[in-house]
Chains A and B, each alone.
Chain A
């Protein structure tokens, strides 16, 4: 359950491991914008955000990931960790990195951004 996964449907998600990827450094933010309110607090608003970051990935793994996001962004289903490190399934828009730094058949500092996360009930 805790394996990171990605797919074009919730039922069709596959583990990152099966794509030749190690577990990413994941981040999760429960809101996407914040306003300062009159009581001195700050209120988070909007859809949750998430990201997966690798120090490097192989080109093969990169091409595997690219099939889920052929363009600049795409609608995907992911399993990731929320801010309590609990695995969640979500439908999200993945944003492909604007620039890729390649070295020795590897892509360095590779980060996928996910936004407009809609948390889904896990499938039985």
Chain B
């Protein structure tokens, strides 16, 4: 009899800080600015968990993973879209490593792992895999708890040796390591607490990787959770791992997804996992929390991943999709190391299978499903043991008989050690009539052959199903035959799966991995070894009895098999689909390319990579080197006439990098890397109204291709309709009230179109909100005295500028030529008068409208309180004055203006600190603009 305990991980706080930036988007965030840091920054380790909360220490906004070492003001996190970020949120980095996926990112055709890790030689010289055991828990006995730890099983994918070990434990107080530089030291803990055990392993080629596990130590004053009942503790090969559940008395606060360890009085870990579900029972007499902890198999099965594929390269692998001497082990390592952080938090134990693959691929799905897809090619499956060591394991009965000699027999179960009643199917008829197996063998040079095998032969058994296995990795014909024979023997096991209910204390050494034998004598049914398919641990808290029930299958051997038949030759070409003596090297289908992301990467804080602008007279220009000190600009003008370039009015884009520009007659569109092409012009509009004028143009930033234009359908300013559509064409929709008596503005906000325009001749303007499809007007308010929006006097310039690059909470209506500027809620319904300053059209703000930059005559101004107060931007030598533009991204602002009042030169400037300092991004732009009257207009920067 024994007692069971739960160790619930309550992570130690490592570092705290607060978010120090505004957010124009919460999508695809990979780093966050912070201030007010407290703690030792050097203690923040990649992989640690970050709580994001609205109060100190809280995680009500969610969790992130530290992606890489932070700087003094930037925390790099695993790319995320699930956090509702806001300035001044609380960041708490805690001493916890939970399972995470690492997203692959494609930018400009380049694949990055974990957001920004470009391929160099990571597949040529792989990081070592740290195998250091699982989580540990113990009671102090006579003032200490001693752990014999070992990382001797660490290995290097593809071969190579481990060169050195470096163990660490944190916190150091109360803990010591006998020798930090050996494979198997002793760790001694003398104070109750939670300790992080680290083991850094270096390979001979100098690559290092560090694994982390936790040691929970308790004493009478710091006990583990005892007041709980264990409802189930089960490990199943089919599901791939262990899970356990129970009920804790009271209402303890459980950390969502937190590490949980189930251990017994002898300090043996019975299972570990991460909290996956929680049910509260509110009862005035006895509150309780029901919990479920599940292993990494379940955690990884919940993590979606992009399609993955690795191709065997003959030469040096040149990118993330290539590996030399590709095995399932190596492909699985890539998945567990570069697509997730599993190799940091758990053991991945090589199965040593040397069969090579020309390619291994898995479609989009969970990380676990992709691992299973890799494993399937060698008839294996991924399995986590009770303490989360991961293996790609070939079932015992599919392991060649000659290779089973090293498998340990855990226990011979005697009649006195099992319950008296046992039921099992005694199969008298064959279940499988024939196994038809095929696969390929390749060498490191991708030369290969196909093999076919039939068990028992070409004539099926009298009864049973036909079992076809294809696309396996094989070593030789003999292996194909043996596998076919193993499959047939297993399918026709004369004993069905059986359940062994064991007496108290028996069978506690069984696990679902690694492969292991039990032995049993079942008179009349079976006598011999069995393989473990499932282990269920029962605990009776009243009796203290800890017992095990096994799900098992009797060991099978191999049935006879023969060489199979290759498919007949192609009737048209006469070429054999596969031949044992292939005249040509075996060709594999090309590895599918990484799928395109739904949209290219979105802008994030930091130096943006791209910028696009248009100028008077010199048209459209862009650069993909905006982050460099002297960007090189490229023209987008090939498809434009000189007249079109001189009259461009509109430039807008969506978050996916699709651009739209236009003048009063034509609209063009293109994506990054393409040349602009005409979306709509006279050919489309003239049949509706030959006098048409395009009065406004805006993109839906959230759609891959959705744009709205305002176009008059009668004369040049009457019956202005909203046209919506994309590169496939535009459709006329609703008609605006009134007419168009000056410039208009249209922008996207909250799934609607906001349109401001002077609808009454030189008197007032309208603020109108229309549905996204352009069919329904949902609101209209008239500005000026007596109108719904009496403070707005934007006439005749009723065009507006949306806060944020893609729209935000407000829009601004600079009242050019007078001292009256205002802002309008993005829904168009409420207005705010912001300043009696004669702002030019160059005004921009962060998405909330709090931080604003504007030009006031020749003076650049800024406000950090939404326009209530204004100050000069001191470094203003570059600012040319009216019609310069600033476009903002939180604290990133880029301007395009002219350098001096004579309009001689365009100037591009960039700031990350709200105008305190500026960098010159003009680069070589002026070298393409030899003349004068260079008026740089709108600029958009993005990443």
Contact = CB atoms under 8 A, between A and B. Distances in A.
Interface string B519-559: 00000000000000000000010111101000000000000
A86 B504 CA distance: 26
B232 interface: no
A40 interface: yes
A47 B415 contact: no
Contact of B504 (A36, A38, A43, A115): A43
Nearest to B418: A38
A121 interface: no
A33 B543 contact: yes
Interface in A1-39: 31-33, 35-39
A39 B544 contact: no
B543 A47 contact: yes
B916 interface: no
A116 interface: yes
Interface residues of A, number: 16
A104 interface: no
B504 to A, nearest CB: 4
Contacts of A116: 542, 544
A45 B503 CA distance: 8
B543 A43 contact: no
Nearest to A36: B420
A45 B504 contact: yes
Nearest to A42: B420
Given A38-B415, A45-B504, A47-B1, A32 B422 contact: no
Interface string B389-421: 000000000000000000000000011111111
Interface in A44-75: 45-47
A32 B547 CA distance: 14
A104 to B, nearest CB: 33
A31 B540 CA distance: 12
Contact of B419 (A31, A33, A36, A46): A36
A123 interface: no
Contacts of B417: 37
A38 B416 CA distance: 6
Contacts of B1: 45-47
Contacts of B545: 32-33, 45-46
Interface string B411-442: 00011111111100000000000000000000
A57 B856 CA distance: 98
B418 A45 contact: no
A41 B542 CA distance: 23
A45 B542 CA distance: 11
A15 B418 CA distance: 43
A47 B419 CA distance: 19
A98 to B, nearest CB: 15
Contacts of A115: 542
Interface string B464-505: 000000000000000000000000000000000000010110
Contact of A45 (B414, B415, B547): B547
B250 to A, nearest CB: 15
Contacts of B540: 32-33, 46
A38 B422 CA distance: 9
B420 A37 contact: yes
Nearest to B419: A35
Nearest to A38: B415
Nearest to A39: B415
Contacts of A31: 543
Contacts of A35: 419-420, 501, 503-504
Contact of B542 (A37, A39, A40, A46): A46
A50 to B, nearest CB: 14
A47 B543 CA distance: 5
Nearest to B413: A38
Nearest to A47: B544
Contacts of A38: 415-416, 418-420, 422
Contacts of A32: 540, 542-545
Interface string B618-649: 00000000000000000000000000000000
Contacts of B422: 38
B547 A37 contact: no
A44 to B, nearest CB: 9
A74 B49 CA distance: 40
Contacts of A43: 416, 503-504
B504 A37 contact: no
Contacts of A45: 1, 503-504, 543, 545, 547
B284 to A, nearest CB: 16
B544 A37 contact: no
B416 A46 contact: no
A33 B416 CA distance: 16
Nearest to B521: A38
A35 B777 CA distance: 77
A31 B534 CA distance: 28
A62 to B, nearest CB: 24
Contacts of A40: 420
B543 A37 contact: no
Contacts of A33: 540, 543, 545
Contact of A39 (B416, B501, B504, B543): B416
Contacts of A47: 1, 542-544
A22 to B, nearest CB: 29
A36 B421 CA distance: 8
Given A35-B503, A37-B503, A46 B415 contact: no
5 contacts: A32-B542, A35-B419, A37-B419, A46-B545, A47-B1
Given A35-B504, A47-B542, A47-B544, 18 more contacts: A32-B542, A32-B545, A33-B540, A33-B543, A35-B419, A35-B420, A35-B501, A36-B419, A36-B420, A37-B415, A37-B416, A37-B418, A38-B419, A45-B503, A45-B545, A46-B542, A46-B544, A116-B542
Interface of B: 1, 414-422, 501, 503-504, 540, 542-545, 547
9 nearest interchain CB pairs?
A: A46-B543, A45-B504, A32-B543, A39-B415, A38-B415, A46-B545, A45-B545, A47-B544, A36-B420
